[in-house]
A and B are shown apart, each in its own frame.
Chain A
């Protein structure tokens, strides 16, 4: 058993990656779905086991083929990556468990095995990024996950997904190529690709221009992938026109993984090496984060399509996460890391509820959904609960991270007061756009087209409620994500002078 535990970081990637070609060959689509769900559940179990392991103290490291680092390829899982692995595998598992009807409605039966295969590749890529400890491996995993995501986003029947995905492909590739230029320049100066080794060796050449240029390329490239305002333009359409199950999966975790990588590079690799990096990082990110919160929330206020509304809300939440990071303090990074987790919970549950609505109703515009709560009370209930968590009502997970964000902002002195105002305004705007959804599904004139609508299938409802209740659970008992986030923040700031 202990022998198997040693291989867990590798298995985390290998299980979904090797199941993918198998799933493609399984002909009845039910079998393909079952195999994909099983692989995703197994990946989730591995992530949970590793989380328990890192909570006991200690980290997982794995030398591929027993070649020692820095020349061999190293995999490593610490508390920060464990948190990300939980988000990624959890989102995939919840989405797959709930997704049967939704996928049946969106994707042709004969093409479902291919769809599930691409899904598993996306899962393998996304969980590979937190596991890898090697800059080039991270690039390869990033491209695996991106290419597979493009496929599953474009897999649906809605033709508008195609131009959306083309835009995502162009912008995603530019982001990844910028990252590749960045690590190329670092390799040129240091001759290493292993992150830990890189951190040490940059020290000798830290005053050279190429390192500064590399930091710029890597930060911008990853910000593009993470949909940081104003580089977010690919996100709303991609999330809106993707099949609903895909939106649940990707909205909960894909931008989070890029954010993780951004934090890891900027703090772990560059922070201790570049003079004034903390100030440059803060000055660059803080204004963009504030703009993201205010502008994206503002757009969400007027959006009619419920998926698009939530997509703009995601851009605002990315703003919150980066605002916490831009303080460059332990409190700020703890807040932003825990918000990674809590936002994934809230947005995952919201999009699950939306996919329940989508299987039963014809349209997803707010006036298509007038009075649907009478027909689908359970779905509506879960939607409201997850919405409260997104706003940050006490007792829900969202409150925990907003609270820590405000505490961290107050440490910033007079600037902090202005930032608290931004946080409060952002939350108020969230309350308004969630209220617009509530108003239309509960109190609007019942829409005549909805008179025959029935409650969503039981399995979907069960998973949606499980996700919604997780928001309550982690609001009342936030120890696990908090511990992971706090020690992630400490690891990231280790090199702060």
Chain B
């Protein structure tokens, strides 16, 4: 039962590994980037879940409310999301340049073309 109670950590771990697997195993560069995005999104979820306090509400001071959620992890993750978007955008930009230069986005093809 204890394991199920921690299900949000399982979601984090499973998503992290799905993303990591795609990054390592997929030869297609776009699929690698998708994997990388899933990998990062898993970490975002880890941060978001840790800020939640059961029964807690938004941290706005008002009468009759004593339990608040922690807003800081969400603020941190906003920054991390921006970093993630920039990384994905730059990665896609590089893939476009690779396609222009090599005519392919498959890892094996690119390696073959440089060996000649």
Contact = CB atoms under 8 A, between A and B. Distances in A.
A160 interface: yes
A187 B94 CA distance: 34
A496 interface: no
Interface residues of A, number: 24
Contacts, number: 67
Contacts of A187: 50, 73
B11 interface: no
Contact of B76 (A136, A150, A154): A136
Nearest to A140: B79
B40 A166 contact: no
A180 B20 CA distance: 15
Contact of A184 (B20, B43, B86, B94): B43
Nearest to B101: A159
A478 B29 CA distance: 47
A22 interface: no
B53 interface: no
A102 to B, nearest CB: 21
A159 B46 CA distance: 38
B97 A162 contact: yes
Contact of B98 (A147, A163, A181, A184): A163
Interface string A154-185: 10000110110110011001100100110010
Contacts of A136: 76, 79
B90 interface: yes
A159 B114 CA distance: 9
A147 B94 contact: no
B47 interface: yes
Contact of B39 (A147, A160, A166, A174): A174
B19 to A, nearest CB: 9
Contacts of A184: 43, 46-47, 50, 73
Contacts of B46: 181, 184
Contact of B87 (A143, A162, A163): A143
B94 A169 contact: yes
A147 B50 contact: no
A352 to B, nearest CB: 27
17 contacts: A139-B83, A140-B79, A143-B83, A143-B87, A154-B97, A159-B101, A159-B102, A162-B94, A163-B114, A166-B29, A169-B91, A170-B91, A173-B36, A174-B20, A181-B43, A187-B50, A188-B50
Interface of B: 16, 20, 23, 29, 32, 36, 39-40, 43, 46-47, 50, 73, 76, 79-80, 83, 86-87, 90-91, 94-95, 97-98, 101-102, 110-111, 114
What 10 pairs across the A-B complex have the smallest Cβ distances?
Answer: A159-B101, A143-B83, A162-B98, A188-B50, A166-B94, A163-B110, A173-B87, A162-B97, A169-B91, A184-B47
Given A159-B101, A163-B110, A169-B94, 9 more contacts: A143-B87, A163-B111, A166-B94, A169-B90, A170-B91, A173-B40, A174-B20, A177-B40, A184-B73
